[in-house]
Amino acid sequence: MTTILPAAIAAPKAALAGHIGVGHAYSHSGFVQEDSVGFAALLHILQRACPMNFTVTKVDGEGDTVRVHTAQGGVGEGTALRGFTPFERDMMQRAVGQVCLAPQTAAVRIFGRIYGQGVCEPAAAFSLALAKAYVHTVQLAWPEATLHAPEDVAGGCGEFLGGNMSVHNEPVAWLLSVNASPGGIGPVEDAEGIIPIGNKGELMAALGMDTCPALILESKAYNPKLSDALAETTYYARWNEEHDNAVVGACLRMALEESGLPFKVQADAYPRNGALTDETKRIGDVIAQLGQEYASAQTASHKVTLAYRLACIASQDLGGSIFMSDVIFELAGAGGLWPGQAAVLSSLTSQDDLRRMGTLTVTEEELRRLADIALATACHMTQQHAAALRILEDKRPAHTPQQLLDLVSNSGATPPSL
């Protein structure tokens, strides 16, 4: 069994990062994901090092706000742009007495499903409140130093918490990231993964995590191109040989081989290119064509059909381009991999699983398996630290956290007010 203990902040030899993209559940081409799995898997690891009580004890709030409280004293808030009905507030009481480390799965259990992009604000707001309550729970319970920072990316309302633990007597940093926007209107994920932007970058530097090989824990996903051939949940290692850290990737592959679980490895994932710009334009053109067709529609059935097509685009297809700024994507790719530093561990679900559920959730057993693989990878990373560090030093960009913030703020027009 891997020995893990809380530790004071020290120069780490490896790092684990997990995030939730609040409401980032769907994308184009039939892609579906549970985007709090990486966040939940890291919580699972932290709970092994330091017992914490994540039981929800109260859900309250007023107006457009929901607050979630845990038995450890953690409190988190989320807002829904169009507020909550009394019936939605009653539904959220079902969380009381429950523990579900994956906030998106918890929201699905309450509301039936979750969408981003302003389609299901109450579910997204609850998911955000629960994630923040869990971050606060860890902050209160961790016996050694932790570092906390609010998100300062424009349009974001997330937060970050990091610290150190000892894994087989080796220092390993950890970082929880909550990526969201106010009102439950959609994910803003410029601070995804290990992107050292703004306050997150400053926190990473204070942890020593900005110059440390890292494993990013990501979502459970249904990807039609890959999932339709699967019979069961398959663990998925990804990095890009040209841009990312092949030593971290090799450590992850070793951990997967040792696990005896089904897995897939892709070493040419996450190309850095203008694909996000292209996808944004493609979707924009589709919306424009729908708008033109709607402007000339005269029958109710025609208008209703077009409205449904537009709703599907807003609730699903836009998820493939809405989550990240183009300038950040071209540096870090869709998984938030800062060049030279990391690889990604996620999982793929089968077509049968999605068909049976109609959406994606994660089980406690899946989280345990992800945690086991991540810890085994961290052990290999500490042993291969020098080799991984050479790649990191060779490939890592020189951008400062403030420069990355400026890249985003200077790259487009000011968004309209809601």
pLDDT reported for residue 30: 85
Q: Which residue has the higher pLDDT, 196 or 5?
A: 196
Check: CB of residue 395 under 8 Å from CB of residue 243: yes
Predicted pLDDT at 304: 97
CA distances from 388 to 201, 254, 295 (A): 20, 15, 57
To the nearest whole number, what is the mean pLDDT of the chain? 95
- Two structure tokens written together for 262: 């089904």
DSSP letter, residue 240? B
- The H or E element that residue 291 is part of is helix 275-296
Model pLDDT, residue 118: 74
What mean pLDDT do residues 300-311 have? 96
Q: Is the pLDDT of residue 1 over 70?
A: no
pLDDT in tens, 45-79: 999 999 999 999 999 999 999 999 999 999 999 99
In this structure, are residues 87 and 136 in contact, taking their beta carbons and an 8 Å threshold?
no
117 pLDDT exceeds 90? no
Give me the mean pLDDT over the 220-246 stretch.
95
Q: Can you read off the two tokens belonging to residue 131?
A: 């994630």
Residue 413 has pLDDT above 70, yes or no: no
Q: Is the pLDDT of residue 173 over 90?
A: yes
pLDDT(145) > 90: no
Q: How far is CA 297 from CA 263, 289, 312, in A?
A: 49, 12, 19
pLDDT reported for residue 28: 81
Quick check: 128 pLDDT over 80?
A: yes
Q: pLDDT tens-digit profile of 256-298?
A: 999 999 999 999 999 999 999 999 999 999 999 999 999 999 9
* Cβ-based neighbour number of residue 65 at 10 Å: 15
- Does the pTM of the predicted model rise above 0.85? yes
Mean pLDDT calculated for residue range 232-239: 96
pLDDT one-digit tens code per residue, 329-362: 999 999 999 999 999 999 999 999 999 989 999 9
Instruction: Look up tokens 């989320």; give the residue.
Output: 78
Q: What is the pLDDT of residue 416?
A: 67
Q: What is the phi/psi pair of residue 75, to 5°?
A: -135, 135
Identify the band that residue 119 occupies on the pLDDT scale cut at 50, 70 and 90.
confident
Q: What is the CA radius of gyration of the chain?
A: 21
Residue 115: per-residue pLDDT: 84
* Residues 179 and 146 sit within 8 Å (Cβ to Cβ): no
Domain locations in the chain? Answer: 4-409
Q: For the segment 362-384, what is each residue's pLDDT rounded down to a tens digit? A: 999 999 999 999 999 999 999 99
